[in-house]
Amino acid sequence: MKILVPVKRVIDYNVRPRVKQDGTGVDLANVKMSMNPFDEIAVEEAVRLKEKGVATEVIAVSIGVAKAADTLRTALAMGADRAILVQTEETVEPLAVAKILKAIAAEEEPGLIVLGKQAIDDDSNQTGQMLAALWGRPQGTFASKVEVEGDINGGAVLVTREVDGGLETVKLSLPAVVTTDLRLNEPRFASLPNIMKAKSKPLAQKTPEDYGVDIAPRLKVLKVAEPAGRAAGVKVESVDALVAKLKELGVA
Amino acid sequence: MTKVLVWAEHDNATLKEATLHAVTAGAQLGGVTLLVAGAGVAAVAEAAKQVAGVDAVLVADDAAYGAALAENVAPLIVQLLGDFDAFVAPATSHGKNIAPRVAALLDVAQISDILTVEGPKTFTRPIYAGNAIATVESTDAKLVITARTTGFAKAAATGGSAAVSPVSGAGDAGLSSFVGAEVAASERPELTSARVVVSGGRALKDAETFASTIYPLADKLGAGVGASRAAVDAGYVPNDYQVGQTGKIVAPEVYIAVGISGAIQHLAGMKDSKTIIAINKDEDAPIFQIADLGLVADLYTAVPELVSKL
pLDDT along chain B (310 residues), means of 10: 95 95 98 98 98 98 97 98 97 97 98 97 95 97 96 96 95 96 83 93 95 95 95 92 90 95 92 94 94 95 94
Q: Is A116 in contact with A38 (CB distance < 8 Å)? A: yes
Nearest CB to B122; choose among A166, A222, A252: A222
pLDDT at A183 over 90: no
**pLDDT score for B239:** 86
Give the mean pLDDT of A100-123.
97
Question: Rounded to whole angstroms, how far apart are CA atoms B57 and B178?
Answer: 26
Q: Of chain B residues 265-294, which have a CB less than 8 A from chain A?
A: 265, 271, 275-277, 279, 283, 288, 290-294
- Residues of A within 8 A of B99 (CB-CB) are 126, 129
**pLDDT score for B190:** 87
B9, B97, B253: best to mutate for the A interface, most A CBs within 10 A = B97
Question: Rounded to whole angstroms, how far apart are CA atoms B169 and B283?
Answer: 58
* CA within 13 Å, CB half, B244: 24
Which DSSP category does B202 fall into? G
Q: Residue A226 — very low, low, confident or very high, per pLDDT cuts 50/70/90?
A: very high
Instruction: Kindly determine whether residue B196 and residue A226, on different chains, have CB atoms separated by under 8 Å.
Output: no
pTM (predicted TM-score): 0.93
Q: Is B243 in contact with B228 (CB distance < 8 Å)? A: yes
Question: Rounded to whole angstroms, how far apart are CA atoms B150 and B153?
Answer: 7
- C-alpha distances in angstroms, B31 versus A45, B87, B284? 45, 11, 49
**pLDDT score for B9:** 97
Taking the CA of residue A102 and the nearest CA in chain B, the distance in Å comes to 12
Q: Of chain B residues 13-52, which have a CB less than 8 A from chain A?
A: none
Instruction: Kindly determine whether residue B137 and residue A19, on different chains, have CB atoms separated by under 8 Å.
Output: no
- What pLDDT, in 10s, does the model give residues B119-173? 999 999 999 999 999 999 999 999 999 999 989 999 999 999 999 999 999 999 9
**pLDDT score for B1:** 79
pLDDT at A202 over 90: yes
- C-alpha distances in angstroms, B302 versus A252, B11, B308? 16, 39, 10
What percentage of chain A reaches a pLDDT higher than 70?
Answer: 100
Q: Residue A242 — very low, low, confident or very high, per pLDDT cuts 50/70/90?
A: very high
